[in-house]
Amino acid sequence: MSSDPAQFVFLITSGVLITLVMCGFIVAMVLFHRQQQIRNRQKMDHMKAEYERTILGVEKEIQEQTLSFIGQELHDNVGQILSLTKLTLNNPDPENFSEGKRLINQAIKEVRTLSKRLNLDWVKEVKLLDFIQQELQKIENSGFCQTQFDSNITELELEKDQKLVLIRIIQECLNNTMKHAEPKLITVSLQQKNDFLELMIKDDGKGFDVEDKSKGMGLHNLKSRIETIGGNLQLFSKINMGTEIKLLLPFA
């Protein structure tokens, strides 16, 4: 019976130690879980901030390009119409007066069209397929090179932010091609493949070494932008064999 108190003390001590260990383990798990939540929240906040910065940057670039386009149109198109109107109205012939009125109406129509592009509301209204075709038509009209557009899509609904990013990427890719590639043909393809939207921009120009670090920043910007809206970018290029940029975007 003399050993019973010692056994009792041992059992009490063991129980207390086990309880303390379990409490410590539970506290550690709670602290770990809270830290994980904080890290996840910080990661989500960072992703949200990065997304917002990307969208704001894209909006600013499109607005700047729009203003540049409007300035050129005012100088080359509206300015030319108004100059022609002035010359026409200088002659008091009744037929010239009628022609002058027609030219003034045309100038008003052109100014109204340009004014709509001063904000980004046109992005909501424009269809991506129409935008691509218009951009390629501008290239052909300039006499720079031939273009081709292929698509298996008739109707395409995208979120405004997705459309914004895609429009800017398309503009940037086409501008880079015109600046550096010296192509004879630019091909753009927009295809729906299962659950993905595939946009391909391809040229038969000079190409470049994809390992060249000096080309990396522009490619990094394109990749980060498409990743912001949940897509990814693939690039294929060889010197003297052209360049192909493929964008894949999850699509329902």
Q: Which residues of 167-182 are buried (b: 16+ CB within 10 A; e: fewer)?
A: bbbbbbbbebbbeebe
Among 151, 170, 152, 173, residue whose Cα is nearest residue 218? 173
pLDDT at residue 217, rounded to an integer:
65
Which tops the pLDDT comparison, 126 or 129? Answer: 129
Domain 123-252: CATH architecture, name and number where available: 2-Layer Sandwich (3.30)
Q: Compute the average pLDDT of residues 175-180.
A: 89
Given a cut of 60, whether residue 2 has pLDDT beyond it is no
Provide the 8-state DSSP code for 116.
G
pLDDT of residue 138: 86
**DSSP 8-state assignment for residue 106:** H
Do residues 59 and 164 touch, judged by C-beta distance below 8 A? Answer: yes
What sections of 177-235 are H helices per DSSP? 216-228
pLDDT at 4 over 50: yes
- Average pLDDT (120-127) is 78
The answer to whether 84 and 58 are in contact (CB under 8 A) is: no
DSSP one-letter string for 161-230: HHHHHHHHHHHHHHHHIIIII--SEEEEEEEEETTEEEEEEEE-S----TT-GGGHHHHHHHHHHHHHTT
Report the chain's terminal Cα–Cα distance, integer Å.
78
Q: Would you report the helix, strand and coil content of the chain in percent, each value rounded to 5? A: 65, 15, 20
CA R_g for the chain: 31
Residue with tokens 């290029």: 237
pLDDT of 145 strictly over 90: yes
Q: How deeply is 7 buried, as exposed, middle or buried, from its count of CB atoms within 10 A (0-12, 13-18, 19+)?
A: exposed
Q: Which of 145, 149, 105 is nearest to 131 (CA)?
A: 149
| In the chain, % of residues over pLDDT 70 | 92
Window from 118-122, 221-225, 241-245, 248-252 with minimum mean pLDDT: 118-122
Of 104 and 185, more confident: 185
Average pLDDT over residues 61-81: 74
What is the value of pTM for the model shown?
Answer: 0.64
Largest CA distance in the chain: 134
Mean confidence (pLDDT) of the chain: 83
Percent of the chain with pLDDT over 90: 25
When pLDDT is cut at 50, 70 and 90, the band that residue 136 belongs to is very high
In one-letter notation, the amino acid at residue 50 is: E
What residue type is assigned to position 173 of the chain?
Answer: C
pLDDT digits (tens, 9 = 90+) for 20-42: 888 888 888 888 888 888 888 88
Give the C-alpha separation, 100 to 241, whole Å: 52
- Report H helices in 116-148: 121-125, 128-142
Residue 185 has pLDDT above 90, yes or no: yes
> Pairing between strand 185-193 and 232-237?
unpaired
> Which pLDDT value is given to residue 1?
46
- pLDDT digits 0-9 by tens, 218-238: 788 888 889 888 899 999 999
User: Is 80 exceeded by the pLDDT of residue 97?
Assistant: no
Q: Average pLDDT for residues 241-251, to the nearest whole number?
A: 92
pLDDT of 93 strictly over 90: no
- Specify the domain boundaries for CATH 3.30.565.10 within the chain: 123-252
Among the listed residues 161, 165, 158, the one whose alpha carbon sits nearest the alpha carbon of residue 61: 165
Helix (H) or strand (E) holding 27: helix 3-73
